[in-house]
Every structure is written in C-alpha cells, then in structure tokens.
Amino acid sequence: METIRIYSWNVNGLRACEKKGFSKWLSQSEADIIGLQEVRALQEQLPGEIIDPKPFSSHFSPAVRRGYSGVGIYTRIPPKTIQIDLGEKSFNEEGRIQIVQFGRLIIANVYFPNGNGKNRDNSRVPFKLAFYRRVFEHAEAARKAGNRVLVMGDFNTAHTEIDLARPKQNRKTSGFLNEERLELDHWMASGWIDTFRVNEKEGGHYTWWSQRAGAREKNVGWRIDYILACPEAMKFFQGAFIKPDVRGSDHCPIGVDMNRMILE
C-alpha cells in the first residue's frame, strides 16, 4: 500500500528557518508534499538551495507587503493547477493561500490571519472571520465537484480547551475567542475532519509555543495548526502526526499519511 506523506509547517520566516536547518529537515522528511506558511520573503530573496531542492519543485505566493505572511509548497508530485485568488483584493494581497490540484486530490495550503491587530485589541477578528468563510466556500466547492480535499496550515485558532495549555487565561485572546472557535465548529458540522484527532483524543499536543519564558521547554503551547480532510479524502487516511521535536520555528511541522490512490 503506497503512501503519500504530506506536511504543513509555519516556518516563521523561511530564511531564518533555513539558518536553523530547514534544508536538512527537508531532505530527511520523506515528504511528498510540504505546505509552508509565513514564508515572509519574495522568491528572489530566497537562497538557491531552497528554491530548487531536488527532487522537489517549489511554488511560492508572497504578500504584497514585504517581509509579511506568504505561503509556499514543495512537491515531488507535479501539480495540475495552483490557484491563489480568493476573489477579494484584501485577501489576495496578503499571500495567504495556495489551492493546489494533484489529480483528484486538492490541497489548500493556508495561513489564516491572526485577529490581534496592531494594538492587540482584536481589531482584525472581523477580517479573520471573513477569510475563514471565504476559504470554506472554496473548499466546499472543490469537494462538491468530486475532489478529495485537504485544508491545511496555520489556522491561528485553538478549537477546544484541550488544544491549548491555558484555556481559562485566554478566553479573551484572539486565537481562542468564541467567535473564532465557532468557525471551526462550522467546518466540523459540515463534515470536515480534524485528522490529528481521529486517533488522539488527549490534550498536551501543541504546534505553537510562545518564544518567551521557556514555553516550549515547559510545553505551554497551543495547537493551532491543522490538516482538515473532507469525508471523501478520509477514505484514504492512514495516520496523522505532530513533530514537536523539529525546531527552526516557533511552530512545529504536522502531517498526514494518505494512500496514493487518493490521486486517482
């Protein structure tokens, strides 16, 4: 039974991550597809070894604003199409999505907005919620067209209390607001599956840690990175995982294994 291994990782600046060993990790990852978020660089600013790391091809979608946001994908499997247009200028300018088709598999590699705002006053929450809904519309359309769809990336929201170490202290913090969590409820109610939770029901598993006060060493974190699968994709599901020991970013990589038949 041949497997496709798919990763998602918010690298918190790909150039910085490269200095901490990204290329070595990439070569040892045994991945077929890797979606990156928060690349924070134009393609011409990236070193050659991470633009063309054989046997992968790479594709990047930067934000208009330099040094901000941006997504990228590495793949051993030639993509049929890559879409970066959500039909809204304010969304498109932030370089937050790649919708990539591989046969009947469609992967949306997404960096969902943080709702904090410049003054940490939750001023970007309306933008974040609107972005969630637009991505949901595109994912549902792809699913209803008969595709097997994965939506992966940094969702910037912890869904339930077991998805962060200190839920009571963060109820008014963007990332754990009721209105943000309701957006994830909506995905699940529509049939989407949080792949990591299929076989792991316990807490203590996180994907992001503050860089202050030794949070990572103490495992005081948040699980805000997800791979969601539509029911049609779950027929090919073999397992999901989090790699907290992989350093290089304040996030760690997450992944799924799928039967290669998902492409056909």
Q: Which residues are catalytic?
A: 154
> Which residue from 23, 227, 10 is spatially nearest to 108, judged by alpha carbons?
227
In angstroms, the CA 120 to CA 22 distance is 30
> Which residue from 77, 40, 41 is spatially nearest to 58, judged by alpha carbons?
77
First CA to last CA distance, the chain: 14
Q: Which residue has the tokens 């316990």?
A: 202
In angstroms, the CA 70 to CA 236 distance is 29
Residue 207 vs residues 220, 223, 241, 242: alpha-carbon distances, Å: 10, 5, 11, 7
The pair phi, psi for residue 230, each rounded to 5°, is: -75, 160
